Amino acid sequence: MRIEDYALVGDMQSAALVGRNGSIDWLCLPRFDSPSCFTRLLGDESNGFWRLAPTGHEQATRRAYVEDTLILETVWETPTGAVKVIDFMPPRHANPDLVRIVEGLSGTVEMTTEIRIRFDYGRIVPWVRRRNGHLHAIGGPDSVWIHSAVPLRGGDYRHEATFTVAAGQRLPFVFTWHPSHQPEPERIDPLEQLAETRLLWEEWVSRCGHRGPWREAVVRSLITLKALTYSPTGGIVAAPTTSLPEHLGGVRNWDYRYCWLRDAAMTLDALTGAGYVEEAAAWRSWLLRAIAGRPEDVQVLYGVAGERRLPEMTLDWLSGYENSAPVRIGNGAATQLQLDIYGEFVDALYQARKQGMAPDDHAWALVTKVMEFFEHNWDQPDEGLWEVRGPRRHFVHSKVMAWVAADRMVRVIEELGRRGDVERWRALRDRIHAEVCDKGYDPGRNTFTQSYGSRELDAALLQIPIVGFLPPDDPRVTGTIEAIERELMTDGFVLRYPLAEDNPVDGLPGGEGAFLACSFWLAEARALTGRHDEAVELFERLVALSNDVGLLAEEYDPRTGRQLGNFPQAFTHIHLIRTAQALARHAERR
């Protein structure tokens, strides 16, 4: 299936991808970054899946989330009747549960279910036995119980059943993981958990403060960001998947099941802008734990509990999504220098305070100490926002965000009453600003460039007016926007930067799709520069790329009309929310 053929269900500690055909092809337990037990998404049937659908029917007739929840309903209409499958993961109790409920809507429908459990990313075939009428699978540290409403017969390392459901019947299936050394977990009541899960999401959404247009898309994006939050710690993963390709058949396949400071900071900003101050406080606590220690040891990304060692490796037994190898776990970007993250998280904390988050003396002390290190290192070359695998450069976006870090320190002191040497940070801010305008701007072409002395462009330059580095009506800003529209747009969407054999910036072969967040940036930049109608047109075209349940991946290929990259992508949904909020503000001022 296409990437956009999947929907997400989760319990804010892990998540599963459910296809239009009723197959769960990806599930990592007990955490987002744990080894998967269903891995067909990145391999084939032998790597594990769980299908539940009418016999002989592939694609469902329709599907949708139950109102503003993460409960998925998939409906098939067949010649003999109609049936619905309800998929969800209830709030975590002692162990993670995945619940599937078959509900007859009309007539009678013959159903087929097939389940292949494969631990350790599809590599370990577990030992399965029947206990008290239910299935118990064990493989190394992993153990799963399957409580089925119908008998499951085994053979050829899989279990399956064919059964009939009539109108009004409800047949539940529960998949429960627990560590193999622990005793059998207590069973849940799936129907009670269905009601509890619905109440949880409805209560959370009721606190949403977004009152502008595009509410449906904004709320679905907020729910997605909440689903990608690891609730025990407050960490926010970039995506629940690994190695979904940025180019079909290519090598740009990365593990996004970790917490990037940048993504998390932007998520914080999106959530606080919608009134979710409690989530902001939880993220701040995660941040303080994650970066605690020597300022020079601050990383780009961490594990969901703040782990720092995330070694990158390949899984050679998996063929990759549509043969896009290698499949990677871990992420080598954890050891990179990316100077923009300092601006992102200082700005996020500043914005969160302005939105009502309570002050925290420990947080301010830690930020001040980190910024003292940053003060002496902002002028170094780095790998930049896009985590290039080529040589370090003086990326202009990185320097702009360095300016943001210094600027927000000034604002925190002046506007929020924190104690600090405001003249020190003001001087640093002015120094960075002067250098960027001198070394990062090409006066002959009237545009800022990707890095000092280069001629290439970079979509991240669209952030210049958004973060306030220069006013929107500055000719250098409008010139940069126009240059990006000329040189980085393909079929109406924005690429991150030029990809060509003679452009060794990222150190990787092959191309990629249009990066969706970049197109959202262009929409906001257009609005800032007075092109409101063009901004709205682009924004609505981007929202229309969402799949049938409102989810977006990292990239989009306009040639094939397909979503690409890890899915769903927090970075994309963050900028959908932020652009909707910005467009609403600009509309009010018109």
State whether 384 and 312 are in the same domain: yes
Name the CA dihedral angle for 443, 444, 446, 447, rounded to a multiple of 10 degrees: -80
CA distance 493 to 171: 45
Contacting residues for 102 by C-beta, under 8 A, at least 6 apart: 52, 83, 84, 85, 111, 149, 165, 169, 170, 171, 172, 173
List the single range of 84-88, 102-106, 360-364, 436-440 with lowest mean pLDDT. 360-364
Q: Averaged over 375-379, what is the pLDDT? A: 95
Of residues 495, 583, 589, 559, the one with CA closest to residue 215: 583
Higher pLDDT: 389 or 505? It is: 389
Token representation of residue 372: 């003292």
Of residues 409, 408, 479, the one with CA closest to residue 437: 479
What backbone torsions phi and psi does residue 151 show, to the nearest 5 degrees?
Answer: -65, 135
State whether 264 and 128 are in the same domain: no
What backbone torsions phi and psi does residue 485 show, to the nearest 5 degrees?
Answer: -65, -35
CA distance 158 to 154: 6
State whether 190 and 326 are in the same domain: no
264 close to 341: Cβ distance less than 8 angstroms: no
Q: Which of 97-101, 156-160, 245-249, 270-274 has the highest mean pLDDT?
A: 97-101
146, 176, 202: which is the final residue of a domain?
202
Answer whether residue 588 shows pLDDT above 90: no
| Residue 44 lies in domain | 3-202
176, 202, 228: which is the final residue of a domain?
202
Q: Averaged over 17-23, what is the pLDDT? A: 98
Kindly indicate the confidence band of residue 507, based on its pLDDT and cuts at 50, 70 and 90: low
State whether 500 and 523 are in the same domain: yes
CA distance 39 to 261: 28
List the single range of 97-111, 187-201, 264-278, 323-337 with lowest mean pLDDT. 264-278
DSSP per position, 413-475: HHHH---S-HHHHHHHHHHHHHHHHHHSEETTTTEE-SBTT-----GGGGHHHHTTSS-TT-H
Express the helix, strand and coil content of the chain in percent, nearest 5 each.
35, 25, 40
pLDDT at 186: 92
Token representation of residue 6: 């999947």
pLDDT at 66: 98
202, 220, 247: which is the final residue of a domain?
202
State whether 493 and 421 are in the same domain: yes
**Domain tally for the chain?**
2
DSSP state of 380: S
pLDDT at 500: 59
494 close to 515: Cβ distance less than 8 angstroms: yes
DSSP state of 172: E
Token representation of residue 347: 């700005």
CA distance 32 to 459: 30
Q: Averaged over 323-348, what is the pLDDT? A: 93
Kindly indicate the confidence band of residue 287, based on its pLDDT and cuts at 50, 70 and 90: confident
Q: Averaged over 187-210, what is the pLDDT? A: 95
Answer whether residue 30 shows pLDDT above 80: yes
Token representation of residue 267: 């998520």
Answer whether residue 141 shows pLDDT above 70: yes
State whether 484 and 575 are in the same domain: yes
Answer whether residue 199 shows pLDDT above 90: yes
State whether 222 and 161 are in the same domain: no
State whether 281 and 346 are in the same domain: yes
Sign of CA dihedral 544, 547, 549, 554: negative
CATH number at residue 474: 1.50.10.10
CATH number at residue 177: 2.70.98.40
Answer whether residue 374 shows pLDDT above 90: yes
CA distance 322 to 319: 8
454 close to 391: Cβ distance less than 8 angstroms: no
pLDDT at 280: 81
Q: Tokens 């926002």, residue?
A: 385
State whether 447 and 563 are in the same domain: yes
State whether 464 and 332 are in the same domain: yes
To the nearest whole percent, how much of the chain has pLDDT over 90?
81
How far the first Cα of the chain sits from its last, in Å, is 44
Answer whether residue 2 shows pLDDT above 60: yes
Q: Averaged over 285-294, what is the pLDDT? A: 87
Please give the model's pTM, rounded to 2 decimal places: 0.95
Q: Averaged over 77-101, what is the pLDDT? A: 96
State whether 334 and 465 are in the same domain: yes
Answer whether residue 541 shows pLDDT above 60: yes
State whether 178 and 232 are in the same domain: no
pLDDT at 542: 97
pLDDT at 504: 61
